[in-house]
Structure 1
Amino acid sequence: MTMLDDQRVTALLRSVPVPDPQVDVSRAIRDGRRRRQRRRVGGAAAVTLLAGLGVVGAVQLRGVASEPAPTAPALAATPSVSTSTAPGSSLTCEASWLPQPIPGPVAVAIDVDPTGRHIVGEIGTGNEDGRVVLWTDGQATVLPATVRHGSVVNAEGYVIGTNGDGTGWVYRNGSLRTLAIPPGYDAVLLHAINGRGDIAGTAMGANESHHAVLWSVDRPQEYRLIGRPGSTATGITEDGTVVGKMGGLPYRWTPQGAGTALALPDGSPSASVESAHGTWAIGMVAGAERDGGGVLMLPVRWNLTTGAVSRLPFPSAAAVAGNGDLLVDDGAPLVVAPDGASRRLPGRPDVRATEAGTYTAEGISDDGRTVVGSAYENEVHRPLVWRCS
């Protein structure tokens, strides 16, 4: 990174709001999730409650596992992160608008599939009326008006989301199906889908009860409960590895169902996992206490192959690519490779510098070469895609 980027990072870190010291860590992590999470669950209070949690356990079919409480593993090495000596990326990136098939002042791209071909987003007024839109090879399709809050798309073009009433759905090529809600719960929240069609999410019930669940696009009315009650799941990789949180600890489950706690950075009693791609996962951890009380919530990244965990020198991490590229969204989005090489994403070339607005980046392809988001200009949000080569 350049010295200018170092200065931006320092200023951003100082600007991060500090949660009240009495707020529990899980809730503070939830409240600090990136804008994408807050927008896509909208006004669904029950859904929003669990948006920042994530946990998984051994997979079962329509049953509850009997597992001992998880224990924290030995700490893996935390690699040092340099913000001043890393080279710049050799890739060149260009931004372009995505077409808007329907009118609306709030039009945003939310996620891109691992190949960079499919993009999902919303268009509306910003008052919980957003229509879900799927762009495939640049062509836009508006999904049925009965669905809201489309959140993720996979390489096969399956889109998943959660309506405001807690109904989970999956859509592809004009076919719309709802997902089963396990008995004892009254809502679900969908978080992730992989190329095999496995869907990871959480069932929710009375008194803030919740349980991690897996579904399949082929059999949406069947489900598998993961781990113990109190678990949630927030990510799933292409090979079926699930990540989340249980017992206050970040957790992962192999495709075969073996569960282990992920390492915690030194001095951190808990952490939240937000998503995973390839062999990488990202989340949030409570930092050191600040003068006057409160803690600073900071992003972390796990290497799921080695188990190493790294604190990241940024106020937030919007997404991680399958190759390990980190997407940092701070108004002028930045992509940082595992070796520290970085590139700033450019603004739109047809907008004058004095009207450049603010750019939000929310999703990144597995090769790190396609990034999606939006630009805010003159009180209007427009969907945007960056292509790098």
Structure 2
Amino acid sequence: MTTVDEQRIAELLRAAPVPEPRVDLSRAVRDGRRRRRRRRVGGIAALVVLAGVGVVGAVQVGATTGPPGPTPPALAVTPENTGSIAPRPPVTCQASWLPQPVKGPVAVAKSVDPTGRHIVGDIGTGQEDGRVVLWTDGRPVVLPATARHAAAVNTRGYVVGTNGDGTGWLYRDGKLRFLATPPGYDTVLVHAINGRGDIVGTADRSDDSHQAVRWSTDHPQKYRLVGQRGSSATGITEDGTIVGTVGEQPYRWTPQGVGATLAVPDGYPRASVESARGEWAIGMVPGDQRSGAVQMLPVRWNLTTGAVSLLPFPGASAIAGSGDVLVADGAPLVVAPDGTSRRLAGRPEVRATEAGTYTAEAISDDGLTVVGAVYENRAYRPLVWRCTR
């Protein structure tokens, strides 16, 4: 990491004491996800907003007042390719465009499977007409028009998402299937899928009550409610561990269905979990108040040890199975658990003055494949970074 990078993040983190908001964090997160999904297809005027989608720290909720809370820790990453414990092998990354099989100025790669082979994203005009595209080994396939707003892809190339009307769907082996909405609920919001074919999300009622749901790729019209009323499921690991929330507290369920609360960083009353890979999960806690809104600060859990840490970054897009955190602040950064970091370079043929804003959305389990987009010339183009050691 360069001195300029450190100064930039330090400026973002330099703030007054953090107030403790009295908000329904779970509801704020769900609302933020709904808004984020709409923004991705909300028109050319929303392109600037799209630059921040997927960034955990970018979610804001209504301002409140309260006693001061703890201040986020100072940035503690080391220069690129050096380690605080032992030197790490040098990593070389190269960015390349993903082919666009359909036209549209809003084209973003949003998710990558743990192996880095399958990538999924949306391409459209920004007027609720986005088409879902699946890239496998770089070759694109356009999903049926009735599939909108992809959420995730697994190691088999199965894609899941949620249409604008709150209907969940699964794309498997060239066919589109819809997920059951549990009786008594109005909509679902699908978040994740693992290699075993487990799908998780949250079912919602019109009164905003909700509960976590689990489906299977083998039987998409069958479901199982997870946890209790007031739960939500936002991620699932390859072994079937589910993460989410119960009320305003972060939560996890073992593959056998045994639930337990996750720790919250000292001084913070609540937290939410955004996603999980391997033994790691990321989420957020309410931070300080700026411009009439509460900033959300990223946190990371080790699901094996239960340890939780507040991350010294303005936001985090995703986490890898290796524990690498993807920080997307216009020039994506990958930070390993030991504090080493590497900045992802832009496209070599793009002049620095025209480089635009990069958005990094997802990362593979080994931390060597990152997907996202770059905004330049009034359009977003899908991008993939491939790294080698």
TM-score (ref. length: structure 2): 0.85
Partner of 1:229: 229
Partner of 1:262: 262
Which amino acid counterpart does residue 387 of structure 1 have in structure 2?
R
Structure 2 residue 175 is the aligned partner of structure 1 residue 175: yes
Matched-pair contact (CA < 8 Å) for 2:243–2:275: yes
Structure 2 residue 280 is the aligned partner of structure 1 residue 280: yes
Alignment partners' CA distance in 1, 2:40 and 2:293: 28
Once the two structures are overlaid, the 10-residue window that deviates more, 31-40 or 173-182, is 31-40
Distance 1:40 1:304, change over 3 A: farther
How do 1:145-160 residues align onto structure 2 when only pairs under 5 Å count? 145-160=145-160
Tell me the CA shift for residue 175 of structure 1: 1.0
C-alpha deviations, 1:148-198, integer Å up to 9, x for none?
101110000000000011110000232111011111012111000000000
Unaligned residue ranges in structure 1 (runs of 5+): 44-50, 54-79
Matched-pair contact (CA < 8 Å) for 1:107–1:124: yes
Tell me the CA shift for residue 297 of structure 1: 1.9
Tell me the CA shift for residue 121 of structure 1: 0.4
| Helix, strand or coil at the partner of 2:207 | helix
Match of 1:83 among 50, 60, 76: 76
Alignment partners' CA distance in 1, 2:80 and 2:351: 29
Tell me the CA shift for residue 14 of structure 1: 5.1
Partner of 1:26: 26
Alignment partners' CA distance in 1, 2:289 and 2:147: 43
Tell me the CA shift for residue 254 of structure 1: 0.6
Partner of 2:368: 369
Unaligned residue ranges in structure 2 (runs of 5+): 44-53, 57-72, 83-89
Partner of 1:382: 381
Distance 1:296 1:281, change over 3 A: same
Matched-pair contact (CA < 8 Å) for 1:109–1:374: yes
Alignment partners' CA distance in 2, 1:292 and 1:122: 31
Which amino acid counterpart does residue 143 of structure 1 have in structure 2?
L
C-alpha deviations, 1:227-263, integer Å up to 9, x for none?
1111110000000000000021100011111111000
Alignment partners' CA distance in 1, 2:250 and 2:368: 29
C-alpha deviations, 1:121-160, integer Å up to 9, x for none?
0110112210000000111100001111011100000000
Distance 1:385 1:294, change over 3 A: closer
Alignment partners' CA distance in 2, 1:42 and 1:346: 28
| Helix, strand or coil at the partner of 1:234 | strand
Matched-pair contact (CA < 8 Å) for 2:363–2:370: yes
Tell me the CA shift for residue 36 of structure 1: 6.1
How large is the Cα RMSD of the aligned pairs?
2.9
| Helix, strand or coil at the partner of 2:12 | helix
| Helix, strand or coil at the partner of 1:5 | helix
Matched-pair contact (CA < 8 Å) for 2:263–2:308: yes
| Helix, strand or coil at the partner of 1:208 | coil
Alignment partners' CA distance in 1, 2:176 and 2:166: 16
C-alpha deviations, 1:95-141, integer Å up to 9, x for none?
00000001111111000110000000011011221000000011110
Distance 1:363 1:293, change over 3 A: closer
Matched-pair contact (CA < 8 Å) for 2:41–2:128: no
Tell me the CA shift for residue 6 of structure 1: 1.6
Which amino acid counterpart does residue 81 of structure 2 have in structure 1?
G
Tell me the CA shift for residue 351 of structure 1: 0.7
Distance 1:183 1:31, change over 3 A: closer
| Helix, strand or coil at the partner of 1:215 | strand
| Helix, strand or coil at the partner of 1:323 | coil
| Helix, strand or coil at the partner of 2:5 | helix
Which amino acid counterpart does residue 268 of structure 1 have in structure 2?
Y
Alignment partners' CA distance in 1, 2:201 and 2:258: 18
Tell me the CA shift for residue 2 of structure 1: 3.4
Partner of 2:220: 220
| Helix, strand or coil at the partner of 1:9 | helix
Distance 1:178 1:291, change over 3 A: closer
Matched-pair contact (CA < 8 Å) for 1:27–1:52: no
How do 1:317-328 residues align onto structure 2 when only pairs under 5 Å count? 317-328=316-327
| Helix, strand or coil at the partner of 1:169 | strand
Alignment partners' CA distance in 2, 1:189 and 1:31: 11
How do 1:206-355 residues align onto structure 2 when only pairs under 5 Å count? 206-287=206-287, 289=288, 295-355=294-354
TM-score (ref. length: structure 1): 0.85
Distance 1:35 1:8, change over 3 A: farther
How do 1:32-181 residues align onto structure 2 when only pairs under 5 Å count? 37=37, 39=39, 83-85=76-78, 87-88=80-81, 90-181=90-181
Distance 1:102 1:236, change over 3 A: same
Distance 1:240 1:98, change over 3 A: same
Tell me the CA shift for residue 379 of structure 1: 0.3
Partner of 2:205: 205
Partner of 1:186: 186
Alignment partners' CA distance in 1, 2:261 and 2:337: 23
Distance 1:300 1:12, change over 3 A: same
Partner of 1:5: 5
Tell me the CA shift for residue 12 of structure 1: 2.8
Distance 1:39 1:194, change over 3 A: farther
How many residues are paired up? 355
Alignment partners' CA distance in 1, 2:80 and 2:355: 27
Which amino acid counterpart does residue 361 of structure 1 have in structure 2?
A
Distance 1:92 1:258, change over 3 A: same
Distance 1:165 1:31, change over 3 A: closer
Distance 1:35 1:208, change over 3 A: closer
Partner of 1:360: 359
